[in-house]
Chains A and B, each alone.
Chain A
Amino acid sequence: MRIETKALQALLGGNRILKGIDLEAGERELIGVIGPNGSGKSTLLKCIYRVLKPAAGAVYLDGRPLDDYPYKESARNVAVVAQHNYYNFDFSVTDVVLMGRAPHKRALDRDTAEDFRIVRESLGRVGMSAFAERSFSTLSGGEQQRVILARALAQRTPCLILDEPTNHLDIQYQLQLMDLVRGLNRTVIAAVHDLNIAAMYCDWLYAMKDGVVVGQGSPKELLTPAFLRQVYEVDANVITDDKGYLHILFHPGAGETK
Chain B
Amino acid sequence: MGRGKEGLFRGTPAWVAALILLGAALVLSLLGAVTIGSTEIPFRDVYRVIGYKLFRVGDWAYGSGNLYRAVWYLRLPRLLLAAGIGMALAVCGVVMQAIVKNPLADPYVLGISSGASLGATVAILLGVGAVFGENAVGIMAFIGAFTVSVLVVGLANVGGRANSVKLLLAGMAVSSVCGAFSNFIVYIAQDREGMQTVTYWMMGSMAGATWERDGAVLLVAVLGILFFWTQYRNLNLMLLGDESAITLGTDLHRWRQLYLLAAAAMVGFAVYAAGMIGFVGLIIPHVMRMLFGTDHKKLIPLCALAGGVFLVWADVACRVMIKGTELPIGILTAMIGAPCFIYLMARKKYGFGGGT
Contact (Cβ within 8 A) B247 A82? yes
* Binary contact readout A43-63 vs B (1 if CB under 8 angstroms, 0 otherwise): 000000111000000000000
| Bound CA span A177–B13, Å | 34
Contact (Cβ within 8 A) B103 A88? yes
Additional 7 contacts, C-beta under 8 A, given A133-B10, A135-B5: A49-B247, A82-B244, A87-B239, A90-B293, A99-B233, A134-B6, A155-B248
Which residues on B are within 8 Å of A, measured CB to CB? 2-6, 10-11, 101-103, 230-231, 233, 236-237, 239-244, 246-251, 289, 293-295, 297, 351, 353-356
Contact (Cβ within 8 A) A51 B246? yes
Number of A-B contacts (CB under 8 A): 105
Question: A89 is contacted by which of B233, B243, B353 (Cβ under 8 Å)?
Answer: B353
Q: Spot the interface stretch: A70-78, A188-196, A219-227, A244-252.
A: A70-78
- Using Cβ atoms and an 8 Å threshold, which residues of chain B touch A82? 243-244, 247
- Using Cβ atoms and an 8 Å threshold, which residues of chain B touch A49? 246-247
8 contacts between A and B (CB under 8 A): A88-B239, A89-B239, A90-B353, A91-B295, A95-B294, A103-B249, A137-B4, A138-B356
- Using Cβ atoms and an 8 Å threshold, which residues of chain A touch B244? 82, 85
How close is B181's CB to chain A, nearest CB, in angstroms? 33
Contact (Cβ within 8 A) A90 B250? no
| Bound CA span A76–B2, Å | 35
| Bound CA span A105–B101, Å | 23
**Which 10 interchain pairs have the tightest Cβ spacing?**
A75-B249, A138-B4, A103-B249, A89-B353, A135-B6, A80-B247, A72-B249, A135-B4, A89-B239, A89-B294
- Using Cβ atoms and an 8 Å threshold, which residues of chain B touch A89? 103, 239, 289, 294, 353
Contact (Cβ within 8 A) B351 A137? yes
Contact (Cβ within 8 A) B293 A92? yes
- Using Cβ atoms and an 8 Å threshold, which residues of chain A touch B294? 89-92, 95
How close is B290's CB to chain A, nearest CB, in angstroms? 9
Contact (Cβ within 8 A) A138 B3? yes
Question: A99 is contacted by which of B102, B237, B353 (Cβ under 8 Å)?
Answer: B237
Contact (Cβ within 8 A) B246 A105? no
CB neighbors of B among A116-160 (8 A)? 133-135, 137-139, 155
- Using Cβ atoms and an 8 Å threshold, which residues of chain A touch B102? 88
- Using Cβ atoms and an 8 Å threshold, which residues of chain A touch B246? 49-51, 71, 75
Contact (Cβ within 8 A) B250 A102? yes
| Bound CA span A74–B247, Å | 8
Question: A74 is contacted by which of B5, B249, B295 (Cβ under 8 Å)?
Answer: B249
| Bound CA span A147–B174, Å | 40
How close is A71's CB to chain B, nearest CB, in angstroms? 5
- Using Cβ atoms and an 8 Å threshold, which residues of chain A touch B242? 51
How close is A44's CB to chain B, nearest CB, in angstroms? 15
| Bound CA span A249–B3, Å | 41
- Using Cβ atoms and an 8 Å threshold, which residues of chain A touch B250? 71-72, 75, 102
| Bound CA span A155–B247, Å | 10
Question: A90 is contacted by which of B6, B11, B237, B297 (Cβ under 8 Å)?
Answer: B6
How close is A253's CB to chain B, nearest CB, in angstroms? 39
- Using Cβ atoms and an 8 Å threshold, which residues of chain A touch B6? 90, 92, 133-135
A88-B101, A91-B293, A133-B11 known; A105+B233 contact, CB < 8 A: yes
- Using Cβ atoms and an 8 Å threshold, which residues of chain A touch B356? 137-138
- Using Cβ atoms and an 8 Å threshold, which residues of chain B touch A80? 247
Contact (Cβ within 8 A) A102 B10? no
**Chain B residue at smallest Cβ distance from A91:** B294
Interface centre among B11, B248, B293, B356 (most CB of A within 10 A): B248
